[in-house]
Structure formats: structure tokens, C-alpha cells
């Protein structure tokens, strides 16, 4: 491993902090643009991943549909474990989405028009409330 490579992953360095910050705070599109300018190797790896995803798109959908219809079907242990993890994650996500929709409906029932029809407050109203003299513009 080269000295430059070890500095990239060593915690406590600015490079490490910058890298983690970018990965966590940027959405995928912006992160890929960032990678294309700063880490050509990772960017190339991601482009290869996208190429393979496109190439095997139909097969991936077929395997996924097959496993949804028959979760006991075996491809490999790795595929089975990954599929199970993926399904648990999606179920959790969908349950949260459903709970959020229910909460929003409950909130709308409790406060039907109070929030959505709040009166607009002008700058003049704010200035008069705080006794701020109007400036001559």
C-alpha cells in the first residue's frame, strides 16, 4: 500500500474527514460528480457497476420476481442472504411510509385548516409589532 493510499483512509486526517463528509452529505448524483473530478478510479468503478446493472437488468428483475413468488427458492447462499436483507429493509421502509401517511391523515383530521390557511404576515406587520420605524426607500 502506498503512503498516499494509507493517508486517504487514516482517521484524523483532513482527507479522511473530507471523504466521509462528501459520502454522507451529498446525494448520489452530486457525489458521483464529485468523484468524477476527484477520484477517477472510484468513478470508473461506479461507471462499470452501472454498465453491468444495465446489462443484467432483465435477469436481476427475473431473479427478484422468482424469489418474491417463492422465497424458499435457492440460487446461492449469498443471493438468498442479500435478498432477505433487502426485503427486510424494504418492508421496514414501507411500514414507515405507511405510518407517515397515517400520521399526516390524523394530523389533517385534527387541524383541518389551521395550518394550511395561516394568515400571511407582512413586513409592515412585523415592523409595527416590534415598533420598528419604516425606512424611506
d(CA 129, CA 132): 8
Cell of 97: 411510509
Q: Which among 43, 54, 79 is positioned nearest to 64, based on CA atoms?
A: 79
DSSP 1: -
d(CA 18, CA 1): 21
Residues in the chain: 137
Q: What is the pLDDT along the chain (137 residues), one digit of tens a residue?
A: 444 444 455 555 677 777 777 777 778 888 888 878 888 898 899 899 999 999 999 999 999 999 999 999 999 999 999 999 999 999 999 999 999 888 777 666 666 555 555 567 777 766 666 766 665 55
Q: Who contacts 60 (Cβ-Cβ below 8 Å, separation ≥6)?
A: 53
Q: Who contacts 67 (Cβ-Cβ below 8 Å, separation ≥6)?
A: 73, 75, 80, 83
Res 119: pLDDT: 63
Amino acid at each position: 500500500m502506498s503512503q498516499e493510499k494509507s493517508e486517504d483512509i487514516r482517521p484524523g486526517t483532513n482527507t479522511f474527514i473530507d471523504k466521509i463528509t462528501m459520502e454522507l452529505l451529498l446525494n448520489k448524483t452530486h457525489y458521483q460528480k464529485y468523484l468524477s473530478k476527484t477520484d477517477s478510479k472510484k468513478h470508473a468503478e461506479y461507471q462499470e457497476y452501472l454498465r453491468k446493472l444495465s446489462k443484467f437488468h432483465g435477469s436481476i428483475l427475473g431473479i427478484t420476481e422468482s424469489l418474491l413468488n417463492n422465497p424458499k427458492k435457492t440460487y446461492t447462499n449469498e443471493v438468498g442472504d442479500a435478498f432477505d436483507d433487502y426485503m427486510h429493509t424494504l418492508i421496514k421502509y414501507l411500514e414507515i411510509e405507511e405510518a407517515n401517511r397515517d400520521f399526516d391523515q390524523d394530523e389533517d383530521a385534527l387541524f383541518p385548516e389551521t395550518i394550511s390557511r395561516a394568515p400571511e404576515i407582512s413586513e409592515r406587520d412585523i415592523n409595527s409589532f416590534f415598533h420598528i420605524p419604516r425606512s424611506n426607500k
